[in-house]
Structure 1
């Protein structure tokens, strides 16, 4: 099953690259990266340069495909077992760079979401207990 899921992820990554040109990296998470015998899918946050996203959004066809990938519609639209989202990467220097605050909020959201273990106790849920894997695809430039 993992081989099929990985094939689905590679196919989706190729499709996204055809739409936006370059994909610097992806964050992978979920049961695919655990010892679960039969994971259901791969959870993926693609990190794409904001300029490449805006260029793709200027073309109606590319914009439709990007929207499906960015909003987790891949399973129904393309029959690929990937939960996918897109983070628009805003290159900025330094830890408190010049990127818009919304960028830092979104990046922090995904980091926080994927390191926490879901628990009904808010105090327990807030503790980091798992992680994600960053895969460099085309690299940051």
Structure 2
């Protein structure tokens, strides 16, 4: 892994930047203005609760105004990448776990817990090789959707809105196993 990039022209440079949680915190939280430390702590809290339910979170893609030069971002956007089997097992084990998973996946943690986190879940389907196998098409489409979405910058010009122009972080949590 390399150190996360600096903010350039107000945002992360284009691409998916892989780092650790500690590297992300050092680069974008520690000593920064506004409520970044409090928002980061809320993200860590939600991450800890989700990890307690599913056991492991492979990684989390982070994006949004938190990773810009905006002096006081309102929240942090995250996509938890969790092994599909772990999600199914957790949801079947306990109705409260199923509710939590749905709440995190549908970006409802702001309302449910009063935190400044927009969260989603991507069910990771481990797939050998590059073939699209039975049951993996949805995962691959969703992964592409999120990558495409988080590389864009909103713009009134539809052409500019469609061009990848910013980056996001992939924070390795428990790793892909």
Q: TM-score, normalised by structure 2?
A: 0.77
**What's the counterpart of residue 31 of structure 2?**
none
**Structure 1 portions without partners, runs of 5+:** none
1:82 corresponds to 2:117: yes
| Contact map agreement 2:127 2:136 (CA 8 A) in 1 | no
Stretches of 4+ moved more than 3 A in 1? none
Tell me the SS of whatever aligns to 1:76. helix
Q: 2:44 aligns with which of 2, 5, 10?
A: 10
| Contact map agreement 2:60 2:170 (CA 8 A) in 1 | yes
Shift of 1:123: 1.8
- What's the RMSD between the two structures over aligned residues? 1.1
**Structure 2 portions without partners, runs of 5+:** 1-34
- Matched length: 141
CA distance in 2, matches of 1:126, 1:16: 32
1:1-141 correspondence to structure 2 within 5 Å: 1-58=35-92, 59-98=94-133, 100-141=136-177
